Structure 1
């Protein structure tokens, strides 16, 4: 039996098309990008969590000579959130990248490990959070939750 999976997302060509809250999250991810430590891949990533109380938690990729000991920006932000045990839920995760790996027309997308971490925190808080990804051309994709990026989440039924 053949089955089909489809999903939808929003696409915006510029930051100005985003809501004020979305712009805040994206701007914070761009700030986080400046804190990335990527001397080996030369590909910097910034992530920002916008919590329901408007708190921002930043994450940036952190590489290490002892590969694969580094961490992706998304997991740095999510694990920092987890370590702080905030009582406020995640509203939005914004992600941006910069480097030769991301060409002007390319779509930017989180790795599988980060997608699974997003799924875990969705499960922890009991509801999805919005995911905003800035592409190589400066456009934005907005997903309602991780289920659109990871349809068969590890441990799903």
Structure 2
């Protein structure tokens, strides 16, 4: 990914982060993904008083991608958290990313200033994963 695309993706994730609804944890997270075709989608975390009913930023970005139609293959997903420790996707989000990942899907994490804290492929975060191809039914061929 070239520097301009990376900068644009970072800015989209940071902008989404600024819109997060996190009155309970006060931990704002934004995410932006780019598809293999170059479409960019962003999302932010949205908390709920019934804690397990919240939505992670990564899930929001993925939902935006699906709602828009078109590509369903994530080339790169970038997560913008807070603080010096990387805000890596939770286990549930790792599996959600995996649903639309390719062998090359990259996961990036930046801090609230856009400084990169982590970069690796999804396999490093979710090795030996279970995906759509494990459930091949012959009705929906969206997996790679």
Q: Output the TM-score relative to the length of structure 2.
A: 0.78
Report which structure shows greater RCO (CA 8 Å, sep ≥6). Answer: 1
Contact 2:108 2:116 in 1 (8 A): no
Equivalence for 1:82: 66
TM-aligned CA distance change 1:149 to 1:77, over 3 Å = same
Equivalence for 2:130: 154
TM-aligned CA distance change 1:121 to 1:42, over 3 Å = same
Which 5+ residue runs of structure 1 have no aligned equivalent?
A: 1-17
Equivalence for 1:6: none
Hey, what's the Cα distance between the residues in 2 that align with 1:154 and 1:54? Answer: 26
Hey, what's the Cα distance between the residues in 1 that align with 2:86 and 2:112? Answer: 6
Deviation at 1:28, TM superposition (A): 0.9
**Counterpart of 1:114 in 2: which secondary structure?**
helix
Hey, what's the Cα distance between the residues in 2 that align with 1:113 and 1:88? Answer: 18
**Equivalent residues, number:** 131
Structure number with the higher helix fraction is: 2
Deviation at 1:135, TM superposition (A): 4.3
- 1:116 aligned to 2:100? no
Deviation at 1:139, TM superposition (A): 3.2
Hey, what's the Cα distance between the residues in 2 that align with 1:19 and 1:81? Answer: 23
Equivalence for 2:139: none
Which 5+ residue runs of structure 2 have no aligned equivalent?
A: 135-144
Deviation at 1:54, TM superposition (A): 3.4
Give structure 1 regions of 4+ aligned residues with deviation exceeding 6 angstroms. none
Q: Output the TM-score relative to the length of structure 1.
A: 0.72
Contact 1:26 1:132 in 2 (8 A): no
